[in-house]
């Protein structure tokens, strides 16, 4: 393959249930966070299998082991991608004094991706995570990009999805959400070890180097189909990132497609 410059399983302890108050795309959702141990027990065996299967391409968040995916891959594989702000929360305590639930008020400000399933869904969002993993500690007055799946007419997301403050996204990631990620959704993503990239015989795959160039691809790389094959469109930031890294003899060289970003 030539390149050009240019599922997860977990055992959640906390679940946030968000219930839509308005059926339009711009709406507020009431979220309820509750503790569940039954799901954790049911998932434990599956998590053990996952750990063995994803030793190389996995990342751990708290108690969760998640498949490592490119932001564009998460966008393409999700049923919905939204920009949501956390407006308010109310911690509910059990009579014995420990926190039992958190009610969140969420404002979905923009829908980047949503198919027919989104329109037909009841707009109940369930966000599952482990304590301390970040999703259960969403900050007030912060806008988050949230990806997820739709099952049984409900919206689901988790720590293994893309849940990140929008202001922390790179320019390439923001542009990808608005219009560029979608152009590469027919492509697949494949990891390659440093020094072994470029050996895959496929026109439908963008290789993601698992090495010192990892952050460059993650933060600023955009995969797209140029009419013949899937290639990387590198932004100006990507080239700057690459230039700041000493690659030596193991450099994975791509041809450049000029990009004004």
User: Most confidently modeled of 108-112, 150-154, 194-198?
Assistant: 108-112
In a domain, 219, yes or no: yes
Say yes or no: 24 and 140 in one domain: yes
Mark which of 105, 139, 166 sits at the end of a domain: 166
Residue 91 domain-assigned? yes
Q: How far is CA 158 from CA 65, 233, 240, in A?
A: 12, 29, 32
Number of domains composing the chain: 2
Q: Do 157 and 182 share a domain, yes or no?
A: no
Phi, psi of 63 (to 5 degrees): -90, 0
pTM above 0.75, yes or no: no
Q: Which residues contact 236 (CB under 8 A, 6 or more apart)?
A: 259, 260, 261
Quickly state the pLDDT bin for 145 (edges 50, 70, 90).
Answer: very high
Residue 86 scores a pLDDT above 60: yes
Question: pLDDT tens digits, residue range 54-79?
Answer: 333 444 444 557 888 999 999 999 99
Specify if 214 maps to a domain: yes
Decide: 61 and 133 in contact? Cβ < 8 Å: yes
DSSP β-ladder status, 27-35 and 14-20: antiparallel
> Could you tell me if residue 256 is inside a domain?
no
Determine the pLDDT at residue 105: 66
Indicate if the pLDDT at residue 171 is higher than 80: yes
Q: How far is CA 193 from CA 72, 134, 138, 222, 232, in A?
A: 20, 29, 34, 19, 17
Q: How many CB atoms lie within 10 A of CB 153?
A: 11
64 carries a ligand binding annotation: yes
Q: Does residue 176 share a domain with residue 160?
A: no
Residue 258: inside a domain, yes or no? no
Structure confidence by residue, pLDDT tens digits, 198-207: 777 778 999 8
Q: Are residues 131 and 237 in the same domain?
A: no
Within the chain, residue ranges assigned H as helices are: 38-53, 71-77, 116-120, 171-175, 214-220, 236-243
The CATH number linked to 32 is 2.40.50.120
Percent of the chain whose predicted confidence (pLDDT) is above 90: 22
Residues 145-155: what's their mean pLDDT? 85
Give residue 79's pLDDT. 92
pLDDT value of position 166: 96
Which domain covers residue 149, as residue numbers? 14-166
């Amino acid at each position: 393959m030539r390149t050009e410059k240019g599922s997860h399983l977990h055992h959640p302890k906390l679940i946030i249930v968000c219930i839509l108050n308005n059926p339009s795309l711009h709406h507020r959702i009431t979220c309820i966070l509750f503790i569940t141990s039954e799901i954790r027990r049911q998932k434990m065996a599956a998590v053990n299998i996952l750990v063995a299967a994803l030793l190389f391409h996995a990342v751990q968040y708290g108690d969760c082991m998640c498949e490592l995916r490119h932001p564009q891959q998460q966008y393409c594989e999700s049923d919905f991608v939204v920009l949501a702000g956390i407006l308010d929360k109310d911690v509910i305590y059990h009579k014995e004094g420990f926190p039992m639930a958190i009610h969140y008020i969420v404002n979905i400000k923009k829908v980047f991706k949503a198919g027919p399933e989104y329109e037909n869904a009841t707009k109940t969002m369930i966000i599952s995570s482990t304590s301390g993993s970040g999703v259960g500690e969403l900050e007030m007055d912060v806008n988050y990009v949230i990806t997820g799946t739709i099952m049984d007419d409900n919206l689901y997301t988790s720590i293994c999805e893309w849940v990140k403050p929008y202001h922390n996204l790179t320019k390439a990631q923001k542009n990808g959400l608005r219009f560029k990620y979608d152009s590469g959704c027919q492509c697949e993503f494949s990891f390659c070890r440093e020094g072994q990239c470029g050996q895959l015989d496929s026109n439908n795959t963008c290789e993601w180097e698992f090495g010192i160039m990892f952050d460059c691809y993650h933060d600023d790389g955009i995969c797209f189909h140029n009419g013949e094959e899937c290639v990387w469109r590198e932004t100006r930031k990507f080239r700057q990132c690459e230039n700041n890294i000493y690659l030596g003899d193991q450099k994975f060289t791509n041809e450049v497609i000029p990009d004004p970003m």
